[in-house]
Chains A and B, each alone.
Chain A
Amino acid sequence: MSSIIEQIEKEIQNLETGSQQSNVGKIVAIADGVARIEGLSDVMFNEMIEFPGGLIGQALNLEENEVGCVIFGDISKLKEGDEVKSTGKLFSVPAGMELLGRVVDALGNPVDGKGPIEAKEFYPVEKIAPGIIPRKSVDQPVQTGILPIDSMIPIGRGQRELIIGDRATGKTTIAIDTMINQARMNEKGLASGDENFRPLYSIYVAVGQKNANVARLIRTLEDADALKYTIIITAPAADNPANQYIAPFAGAAMGEWFMSNGKDALIVYDDLSKQAVAYRQMSLILKRPSGREAYPGDVFYLHSRLLERSARLNEDNGGGSLTALPIIETQAGDISAYIPTNVISITDGQIFLETDLFNQGIRPAISVGLSVSRVGSSAQTKALKKATGKLKLELAQFRELAAFAQFGSDLDAKTKAQLDRGSRIVELFKQPALDPISMEVQTGILWAVQNDYFDDVNVDRMLEAKTSLQEHFAGSGSAVMEKIASVKELTDEIVGDLKTTVETWKKTWVN
């Protein structure tokens, strides 16, 4: 017996305990979330730095004599002379299905009081976007549930579609509606047991927002039962600029996990103008040279490298996708300012919201002329594409004619018909918030408009008529709706059924 013990003891003695080698530095100056550090001669660009008290930072400026570093979190306890340590690692955040239904900060720590997150994987926040080989063109739709968007500015999985507009024009509402619609579709699709159904998970990144707004958004998603398909990352206005700068990247890392695991995800960056402002503050404190509007020279790269990470991967690479809906707030409708033009040029189209339209009661206040989707039409469902027809053109012509019609009273019959049709479409596109419409119902409504079933409905009762038709589709018209949802095309048979259904409804409608 004793010989066994001796043998074990011998083994223990033979064990070599390795020493910890680290590269350290000392804080020489610290202010406004940025530390200047002496030492750290081996540090790499973007490397994670360990500060006392469990704080972490990121090395952003590598200079000959010192290292400029941003610190995530509360720096009030740090002081000059504190020792810091390089980690040899890139900054990573937890990723995976475990994060769904949770609210986390920019570093991936839970802030919703629902306990720790048991994430099995970590993903680096800064990662090079997928190259050319693993990508494929956008060919599957993201149904926002918003009639004017799905019909005229369709979005595909893997696309980057910018939502741009002044403050309080309904930018966030479009994003919330989209997330709620995904939750509804996921619920329905997963319940149907369809093996080909691909759920779309949502990630919402709140940058520089009021905490009250984020709380309201969480409650809205909870009420709509959409939170369980959503991850919320929040870097509120009270957070330091470093957190606000990194939050969208943390969200992108979480989204990339879905994409690289063959799943589909949608990420909303709300909003990138506040991230740019936080980055400007950081850069100025780091004494980087400033350019236009005092933004640093690499502010374009900041957004381009972030949005490039949204992609649609081909089947050989799992076929996952990451769709991005970045939001930009303009000042007085000026889309030619620095950050708006940058992000417009990076993205695959934009949804432009106008204050004037919003105040006229046209909500969502989408400006049809300035909004565009560059790649989405190839992803649009065939049924919806057919039902939409030339709606965008008709609406654009209406806007032009409406401006002219203000001056003259004598209009020829054709112009009058165009104006009538236009004003009806405008009314039809009004949609209350948090009330997304499914693809099949959208198809049904648009088909009815294109086939003149709404022509004798009073313009001021269009919304009422639309609601009534929607109810009819949900009731006795449900069979044809299900057909459209499964076939996703307007075949002759479906058109026949649709015609019968709409005509039945029309008989019940009294002007």
Chain B
Amino acid sequence: MNVGNRKLKGFVDRLLELSKTDGVVDVEKVEAVLKTLVDSKMKSLKTVLQLYRFSVKKEILSGTAKISHSGTITEIQKDELKATLESRSGRPLTLEFREDPDLIAGVKIAVGDYVYDHSVRGALQNLSQI
């Protein structure tokens, strides 16, 4: 990344902060930022938009915990899970639950590019590699 891009990166980081409400990306704010950007007709608009797209995508991904589970999860468990994950990542998270019988038993949690596999399928896959 050259010097110019580094400056743009700082600018995009500020844009990302402006797009959040309570630490979560807000659709309305993103739309507003986009409109202002396009109207400004700035010189390196394309690069800025590309960097902005990447940052927003990364932010949304790391702010979402995708939880696959086999069997039912009670509301109390869900709350416990949310509290544990949020304290671990130190930020508010949106939880997406999905039932996946292929896991056989247990849960698999993906937050951004981190995956915590606590399922029988994962354990078996691990065993098969030994």
Interface residues of A (CB under 8 A from B): 17, 19-25, 39-42, 63-65, 85
Contacts and interface: CB of A to CB of B under 8 A. Distances in A.
A482 to B, nearest CB: 54
Interface string B28-72: 000000000000000000000000001000000000000000000
Q: Considering residues B114, B123, B126, which has the most beta carbons from chain A within 10 angstroms of its beta carbon?
A: B114
B115 A21 contact: yes
Contacts of B118: 17, 19-20
B117 to A, nearest CB: 4
A41 B113 contact: yes
The 6 closest A-B pairs by CB, nearest first: A39-B113, A19-B118, A20-B117, A22-B115, A19-B116, A24-B115
Nearest to B113: A39
Contacts of A20: 115-118, 122-123, 126
Contact of A22 (B1, B54, B112, B114): B114
A63 B9 CA distance: 14
A41 B59 CA distance: 13
A25 B115 CA distance: 10
Nearest to B120: A17
Given A64-B1, A65-B54, A23 B123 contact: no
B1 A21 contact: no
Contacts of B112: 39, 41
14 contacts: A19-B117, A19-B122, A20-B118, A20-B123, A20-B126, A22-B115, A22-B117, A23-B113, A23-B115, A24-B110, A24-B114, A41-B112, A63-B1, A64-B9
A24 B113 contact: yes
B54, B113, B115, B123: residue with the most chain A Cβ atoms closer than 10 Å: B113
**On chain B, which size bracket covers the interface?**
10 to 19
Interface string B97-121: 0000000000000101111111000
Contacts of A19: 116-118, 122
A55 to B, nearest CB: 13
Contact of A17 (B9, B113, B116, B123): B123
Contact of B114 (A21, A63, A64): A21
Interface in B74-115: 110, 112-115
Contacts of A21: 114-117
Contacts of A40: 113
Nearest to A50: B129
A40 B9 CA distance: 20
Contacts of B116: 19-21
Nearest to A21: B116
A25 B113 contact: yes
A338 B117 CA distance: 50
Given A17-B123, A65-B54, A23 B1 contact: no
Contacts of A22: 114-115, 117
A258 B102 CA distance: 47
Given A20-B115, A40-B113, 5 more contacts: A19-B122, A41-B113, A63-B1, A64-B1, A85-B115
A23 B117 contact: no
A89 to B, nearest CB: 12
A24 B66 CA distance: 14
A27 to B, nearest CB: 13
A80 B51 CA distance: 21
Nearest to B51: A65
Nearest to A64: B1
A144 to B, nearest CB: 44
